[in-house]
Amino acid sequence: MIASPYLLYLGHVNDEVGIKTSRGLAVFRPDECVGEFRHDDCELTLGLPRMDFAEAVAAGARTLVLGIANAGGKLGDDLVRDALAALAAGLDVASGLHNRLRDEPVLVEAAARHGRELHDVRDPRSDIPVGNGKPRAGKRLLTVGTDCSVGKMYATLCLEKGMRARGLKADFRATGQTGILIAGSGVPLDAVIADFISGAIEQISPARDDDGWDLIEGQGSLFHPSFAGVSTGLLHGAQPDALLLCHDPVRPHMRGLPHYSLPGLKETLEANLQVARLTNPAVQAVGIALNTSKLSPDEAARLCAATADALGLPCTDPFAHGVDPIVDRIIACFEPSSRVATPSL
């Protein structure tokens, strides 16, 4: 287990999406985050006290979390230098990047010398089976998206909170490094060997018979040419009863690919339903989740209303406005006779 509290790393990153792991922890595990580490050229903040490594140790931090993301997940010289300084100061180091801390001999040596631990959150377990597609008991919802990093993890975590508040059993199933750090378990899906993508999802969301929901964190997009294979295997492994479509309305193009524009919401939903039907022909869409953080409250409200009208589905910003309309739809579709609480207002 990774020792908390955490110091969250921002480094030199100046791209909001690039610090999503650090921000996710700050948002969903605020009590376990004592500060943020950033270089002078980093203009972002998580709203936590800025600390160097010695200050973080003095404030009680146990682990530096390298909570930054980049395509391919490389471990650059900058990161290695900072990780070495953190180890020397007395911190463990946790990373969600593709390239492993344990593959850097200088880090392994320094950790041993200082008596510290290295955690590679992106190491999948070794007993992942090949997926079998057999129908299994229980209800599952999967978040899907028009692109990478459009709020699938946020939407899934908000939905867990919202469904529990309405008296439903619901459990977040993490498929990415941030989600795993938040949930304490899960599978780092993009680090799994290609043949085992769907099997990994079958493994983390096995049959359940307690009338509860597995809420599975989506990854990538069927329309992202770099990562659609992951999204496809995830859809097949999840056997979702319900899909929640996530979208960032101000994203200018597919993440990292200026030559690819975003697909439409209707097109995205139809493609995801089509792929999902292979393992669950009864799959239904239950709503749209928009990340409206860059819009004014008025713009956000108008866009959610227009989107709901256009798609015939409830639409909300789960983080800003809650998930009640989506929970209502889930109850209407799947829990018609159950006794559940009315929405909180």
Q: Backbone phi, then psi, for 103, in 5-degree steps?
A: -90, 0
Kindly tell me which residue out of 191, 242, 285, 330 binds its own copies, with binding defined by CB under 8 A.
191
**Contacts of its own copies in 34-93 (CB under 8 A):** 71-73
Torsion angle of the four alpha carbons 312, 317, 321, 325, in this order, in degrees rounded to the nearest 10: 30
**Whether 51 contacts 35, CB under 8 Å:** yes
Smallest gap from residue 161 Cβ to its own copies (A): 29
SS3 string, 21-88, reads HHHHHHHHCHHHEEEEEECCCCCCCCCCCECCHHHHHHCCCCEEEECCCCCCCCCCHHHHHHHHHHHH
Q: Is 260 in the site for its own copies (CB under 8 A)?
A: yes
Kindly tell me which residue out of 232, 268, 292, 307 binds its own copies, with binding defined by CB under 8 A.
232
Name the segment binding its own copies (CB under 8 A); options: 48-56, 178-186, 189-197, 203-211: 189-197
Name the segment binding its own copies (CB under 8 A); options: 6-14, 29-37, 183-191, 293-301: 183-191
Q: Is 233 in the site for its own copies (CB under 8 A)?
A: yes
Smallest gap from residue 67 Cβ to its own copies (A): 18
> In angstroms, how far is CA 206 from the centroid of its own chain?
20
Q: Is 137 in the site for its own copies (CB under 8 A)?
A: no
CA distance 264 to 22: 30
Smallest gap from residue 292 Cβ to its own copies (A): 27
Tokens of 9: 């790393």
Q: Is 136 in the site for its own copies (CB under 8 A)?
A: no
How far are the Cα atoms of 56, 153, 217, 281, 322 from residue 183, in angstroms, in the given order?
24, 11, 11, 30, 20
Question: Would you say 226 or 284 has its CB closer to its own copies?
Answer: 226
Smallest gap from residue 225 Cβ to its own copies (A): 3
Kindly tell me which residue out of 174, 223, 289, 327 binds its own copies, with binding defined by CB under 8 A.
223
| Residue showing tokens 């377990």 | 125
Smallest gap from residue 238 Cβ to its own copies (A): 11
CA distance 234 to 229: 9
Kindly tell me which residue out of 268, 279, 291, 316 binds its own copies, with binding defined by CB under 8 A.
279
Name the segment binding its own copies (CB under 8 A); options: 77-85, 125-133, 245-253, 293-301: 125-133
Q: Is 278 in the site for its own copies (CB under 8 A)?
A: yes
**Whether 190 contacts 215, CB under 8 Å:** no
> In angstroms, how far is CA 307 from the centroid of its own chain?
23
CA distance 201 to 197: 7
* H or E, element range at 94: strand 92-95
Q: Backbone phi, then psi, for 143, in 5-degree steps?
A: -90, 135
Kindly tell me which residue out of 167, 225, 264, 297 binds its own copies, with binding defined by CB under 8 A.
225
Q: Is 189 in the site for its own copies (CB under 8 A)?
A: yes
Name the segment binding its own copies (CB under 8 A); options: 8-16, 75-83, 192-200, 292-300: 192-200
Question: Would you say 239 or 292 has its CB closer to its own copies?
Answer: 239
Using CB under 8 A as the criterion, which residues of the chain lie in contact with its own copies when the complex forms?
A: 71-73, 98, 129-135, 189-199, 222-223, 225-234, 236-237, 256-257, 259-260, 271, 274-275, 278-279
